[in-house]
Amino acid sequence: MNQLKKILLKVGLFILPLVFLIVGLNFNRTWFSGDPEYAYLLNGINIATFHSVGHTDNPGTPAQMYNAVVLRIAHFLKFSEKSDLETDVIRNPDSYVELERKVSIVLNSLMMLLLGFTSLLILRNFWFSLILQATPFISTNLLEIAFTKVSPEPVLIFITMILLLVVLKYYTDYDKDTKRYPWVFGLLSGFGLATKATFLPLAILPLLLLKGRKPKLTYLVSIVPAFILFTSPAIPEYPHMAKWFLGLSTHTGTYGQGGTGFIDFSTFLANIPAIVSNNPALAISILVAILYISVLFIFGMVRNFTHSPALKFTVCISAVQLIGILMVAKHYHANHYLIPIISLTGALWIFGALSIRDLNWIKPAWIHNYLPPSILAIFLFAGISGRNYLVASNHGYIITNEEYAQVKKRLETEFSDYVKVYYYPVSINPYSALRWGSVYSKQLHLEALRRHYPEGLFYDTRINRFQFWEATLPAEDLVNDYGGKILLVGGPMTNEEKDLVLKGGLVIKQLYQGRTQVIYEVDTANSLLFKELNRKPAWAVNCSADTLSADGKWFLSGSFKFQNNDNQSNEVVRTGKFAAKLPYRDSYAMAIELDSIKPGQQYRFAAWRKGGETTGFLVASSPKSEEFYVQNSDYLKADAKGWKKVVLEITIPANYKSEKIKFYLWNSGNSPVYFDDFTLSRIL
């Protein structure tokens, strides 16, 4: 009988991980969702090909490392595939994202299984093991993120389960003073913090649990090398990372925006009820824990943790969860920031139940045996209650993908003679998704994107410019190279967004609108942007870098002077006898400062470049670069000699404060870059 019971217990621990696995693998996700999947996808290529990453805001590096490992293994196993890793991933991006999603679900299912069996060995209580396994099911948001996203959150779920195992082992260990715990906790916290800053409350937990000043100090010190290890591909971006987190902590708005200050109390206080409303299981658990702890201490039922070490763990976990809520309330606009502290909820109830047993203040004693299965029943009820939400969410992903497929087919059949332009960044399609990933991966794969997706045309609604990938595409080039029949494809625009497009010079006519896809036809006849095609610029200047001033400080072209920093070179030339050479990192050339700048004016700066595919930039900047700064290194076309035309178009914004603007060339890399045949004009 005992042997049969053991078998049944072991079988029981397979149930919830299997439910997680089966439901997760059969869940749907939005195809070509750029944020954040494609940023992690392309940074995964970076790491897999031994380059540094370009996205460090989370920091998110372990998630990118995970991507790199999956990409490498998957590409290796495709024995029939002859293309290199970058080419294969860029040709089949969404299939790789889907693979990464499914592998993540499998890994978390296995970790959930391990959590169940290992916690059974540690606590020797079958119900407690099931409670830990059931914890993810109390939050529909956690499940949806775990099933649909390739992002830091599934990694955080994984590392939190490992942290819980170490916490349980520490709780039952008679030798809590052993030196290994501070280092193990430090390794896990370094990994968690490298994954996402929302792990910070959990990093406080070992600090509260460890006994003595020296172990606490050892723990804090050990986090540093662990963090560096797990963010090693992001080390070149540490200054940006530091600036990002400084902005988050010193501004009241999301993503380091808003006014200067630590907290906007009106927003902060309004966010707390929203968090409670969106996370009832978490809120109720913390409230019950606070009431329970308060009753014990206020009524003198316990004075310290001597008689119940489990009570200390209950206090520490509830404190950490409360800290997590207060931290997220500062910038609460998405529920997935709470996933790390939600993942502690099962442990909170377990230690609460253990403390009740230790203190033995509930009579009769047999009630203690029913407490763990009662907790599990509550958790399972919470999970079942969220079923309708998950079904509706899954259906939403399905119909979104169906609509994308229908619109894609329609574009290929009904509108085959139109050029398709995708407005960026709010579009669901492979082009916008890949461009999003490119922007956040240092644009190291831009050349491959241009090669494999030559139809990658965009209209950036933020700057009202047509672009070929990152290159500004003047309206006349769009018409000359692609024709005048233009469709604008993307997501539904608000009236405010439509007004911005109209102010940018485009008149659009809606041909189709669905849930997530809209097709607009550009009225080129009535669009100001296209009416200006044959209009001569207010002024224009061409400079071939051949003529210098008497003192050698300036390149001359008529009455215009462009700064020369010993740039003139005859090593590589496109036309004439000389070109401008930018020989090393942070070298500059052709700087010119214009006066009498007014909002609404439009300027075009163009040059032919050789070398420096991702490091040779055209730049426009106000005297204070933080007020206005635009750069571009992407090119429009190449000539037979390998020179590539780079164009930068800008419109002076309405809130532009200065009366001056500066245009110049910049080399951000270590290898020489050459520029020739410059053009600067004021279009409007």
pLDDT bucket at 535, cuts 50 / 70 / 90: low
Amino acid 125 reads: N
CB-CB contact of 351 with 289 (8 Å): no
* Averaged pLDDT, 121-136: 96
- What is the C-alpha separation between 344 and 205, in angstroms, rounded? 11
CB-CB contact of 603 with 649 (8 Å): yes
pLDDT bucket at 314, cuts 50 / 70 / 90: very high
pLDDT in tens, 247-291: 888 877 777 777 788 888 888 999 999 999 999 999 999 999 999
Please report, rounded to a whole number, the percentage of residues in the chain having pLDDT higher than 90.
Answer: 72
* Averaged pLDDT, 460-482: 86
* Averaged pLDDT, 486-493: 92
User: Which residue from 15, 163, 144, 40 is spatially nearest to 93, judged by alpha carbons?
Assistant: 40
pLDDT bucket at 365, cuts 50 / 70 / 90: low
CB-CB contact of 64 with 40 (8 Å): yes
User: Which residue from 503, 500, 501, 497 is spatially nearest to 486, judged by alpha carbons?
Assistant: 501
| pLDDT given for residue 247 in this prediction | 83
Q: Give the three-state DSSP class for 617.
A: strand
| pLDDT given for residue 79 in this prediction | 59
Domain boundary assignment for the chain: 2-385, 393-523, 539-682
- Please name the residue that has the structure tokens 């206090």: 315
Please report, rounded to a whole number, the percentage of residues in the chain having pLDDT higher than 70.
Answer: 98
Does the pLDDT value for residue 387 go beyond 90? yes
| pLDDT given for residue 463 in this prediction | 80
Q: For 63-81, b where at least 16 C-beta lie within 10 A, e where not — what string?
A: bbbbbbebbbebbeeeeee
CB atoms within 10 A of CB 160: 25
Least confident of 6-20, 135-149, 370-384: 6-20
pLDDT bucket at 671, cuts 50 / 70 / 90: very high
pLDDT in tens, 453-468: 999 999 988 788 899 9
Angle at 649 between CA 647 and CA 655, to 5 degrees: 155
| pLDDT given for residue 424 in this prediction | 87
Does the pLDDT value for residue 389 go beyond 60? yes
CB-CB contact of 105 with 25 (8 Å): yes
Structure tokens given for 665: 């060339």
CB-CB contact of 347 with 286 (8 Å): no
- What is the C-alpha separation between 51 and 678, in angstroms, rounded? 32
| pLDDT given for residue 484 in this prediction | 84
Q: Provide the H-helix boundaries in 414-526.
A: 430-439, 446-452, 475-482, 495-503
Does the pLDDT value for residue 2 go beyond 90? no
471 burial via Cβ count (<10 Å: 0-12, 13-18, 19+): buried
Task: State the chain's mean pLDDT as an integer.
Answer: 91
pLDDT bucket at 81, cuts 50 / 70 / 90: low
* Contacts for 662 with CB less than 8 Å, ≥ 6 apart: 591, 592, 593, 594, 619, 620, 621, 622, 623
- What is the C-alpha separation between 288 and 290, in angstroms, rounded? 6
Q: What is this structure's pTM? A: 0.90
pLDDT in tens, 519-534: 999 998 888 888 766 6
Q: Give the three-state DSSP class for 651.
A: strand
| pLDDT given for residue 345 in this prediction | 97
Written out in words, the top-level CATH class of the domain with range 539-682 is mainly beta
